């Protein structure tokens, strides 16, 4: 295939652009239009008129809920099978692939012979998690999702950043610990 060359036309510096005043005027026209259109919309909505677009794109976040994308990676969630048992088979693939090393699983024998193993504990330290989503990709049994749509995860202690299995399954609400002393989970 022959190489095609496309000449990019560079904007020419004409006299009109060089004296700059015309360009300043164009810029002012744009900003003035935004200013007055937005002022008009604000005024109309303040007066209670309907059918006008909002004057600002701002989301007043703490009062209004945060708007998350459909595919946003948020807090982890462990899924259950139809019979109510956790889907996790403690294969440790997520723990292995995790670049932040924030997942810790201990396994035990499962009563169900089909799966052989199950997780005894399944802790995720959200203080270390980088929200890369590799654990979701790696899971062979679709046991972990990152779709809890929860982003307000901050706590007063590092200990409270650790989510245990019942909390990730949704069986137990996540409550802050009574301790007000900051504890380093890696060096308790």
Partner 1 sequence: MSFAIPLNEVLFTTAKVLFAVVGVGLNIAGFLGWVERKQSAVLQDRIGANRASIFGITILGLFHPIADAIKMLTKEDFVPTGATKPLHGLAPMISLGCAMFCLAALPYGGVIEYAGRAWDLQPIALPMGVPLVLATLAFGVHGIVMAGYASGSNYGLLGALRGAAQMIAYEVCLASALAGILFVYGTLDFSEAVLWQVNHGVWGIVVQPLAFILFLTAGAAVTKRTPFDLPEGESEIVGYHVEYSGMKFGMFLMTDFFESIVICGVITALFLGGWSIPFLDLRSMGPLGGFLMVNAFIGKMLLLLFLLMQLRWTLPRFRFDQLLDLGWKNILPLSLMNFLATAWVVYIWR
Q: Which residues bind partner 1 (CB under 8 A)?
A: 21, 24, 27-28, 30-32, 34-35, 38-39, 42, 55-58, 60
**Least distance in Å: CB of 9 to partner 1?**
23
Distance CA 55, CA 41 (A): 5
Q: How far is CA 113 from CA 81, 87, 93, 150, in A?
A: 15, 14, 20, 35
**Least distance in Å: CB of 14 to partner 1?**
17
74: exposed, middle or buried (C-beta count within 10 Å: 0-12, 13-18, 19+)?
middle
Residue from 157, 154, 148, 153 nearest 177 by CA: 157
**Least distance in Å: CB of 46 to partner 1?**
10
**Least distance in Å: CB of 20 to partner 1?**
9
């Amino acid at each position: 295939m022959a190489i095609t060359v496309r000449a990019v036309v560079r904007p020419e510096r004409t006299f009109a652009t060089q004296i700059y005043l015309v360009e300043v005027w164009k810029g002012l026209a744009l900003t003035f239009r935004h200013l007055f259109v937005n002022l008009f919309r604000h005024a109309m909505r303040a007066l209670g008129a309907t059918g006008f677009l909002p004057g600002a794109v701002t989301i007043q976040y703490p009062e209004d809920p945060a708007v998350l994308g459909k595919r946003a990676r948020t807090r982890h969630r462990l899924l259950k099978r139809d019979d109510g048992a956790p889907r996790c088979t403690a294969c440790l693939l997520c723990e292995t692939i995790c670049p932040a090393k924030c997942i810790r699983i201990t396994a035990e024998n499962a009563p169900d012979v089909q799966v052989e193993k199950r997780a005894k504990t399944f802790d995720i330290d959200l203080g270390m998690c980088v929200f890369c989503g590799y654990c979701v990709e790696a899971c062979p049994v679709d046991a972990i999702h990152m779709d809890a749509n929860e982003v307000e995860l901050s706590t007063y202690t590092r200990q409270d950043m650790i989510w245990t299995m019942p909390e990730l399954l949704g069986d137990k609400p996540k409550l802050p610990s009574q301790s007000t002393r900051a504890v380093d989970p890696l060096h308790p």
